[in-house]
Amino acid sequence: VWDVVDFPDSLHEINAGVLSPNMNLIADYPLDWLKATSTNYDAVLFNRTLAAMPVSEFRRYLRILKTRTSYVVFNEPGKILFLDNDLDIDSIDPACPLRMSIWNTHNYRKVFEEEGYEFVHYDAVRTTHHFSAPQHFVIQGIARPIGSSASI
């Protein structure tokens, strides 16, 4: 079963073409939903979501999820259109993401580690996605709370 939580009231209408019987659409602010529910998850997916958040909100999600999920999976843009060189994402101050357009390029590795997670997979690669410019990165990873016995 998939719980799909997002804030638009029109969530059912927006997703009408992709609904399946094992999907629960929940129109709510996801952080509020996580605070209000006692549901535990095998995995929680962020897709182009963490990059839209300030680091303080990103950390709040990780703190709540630490005891509620086995894995946090993310796929985020790292838009670096105006930089002359390749970006060393690990050199970004974890308290101060690099702001590009509407996206924050976080030091994902450091933020996850500071919140008590370890990576099962992590990479930052140039994308060939047709909406991207030559210097557009996709930052993706799978992390689990340190001490978790979960395995892929």
Instruction: Specify the pLDDT at position 80.
Output: 59
Instruction: Specify the pLDDT at position 129.
Output: 57
Q: Are strands 117-126 and 136-145 parallel, antiparallel or unpaired?
A: antiparallel
Residue 147's region, left for phi above 0, alpha for psi from -120 to 50, else beta, is left
Please report, in tens digits, the pLDDT of each residue of the chain (152 residues total): 789 898 888 888 998 899 899 999 999 999 999 999 999 999 999 988 999 999 999 999 999 999 999 999 999 887 655 555 666 788 889 999 988 778 898 999 999 999 999 999 998 776 665 555 555 678 899 999 998 876 76
Instruction: Specify the pLDDT at position 85.
Output: 61
Instruction: Specify the pLDDT at position 127.
Output: 60
Q: Are 29 and 7 in contact (CB under 8 A)?
A: yes
Q: What letter would DSSP give residue 22?
A: T
Tell me the pTM.
0.86
Q: Spell 120-129 as b/e; 16+ CB within 10 A means b.
A: eebebeebee
Single-letter code of the amino acid located at 69: T
Instruction: Specify the pLDDT at position 11.
Output: 87
Going by C-alpha positions, the residue among 95, 103, 113 that lies closest to residue 138 is 103
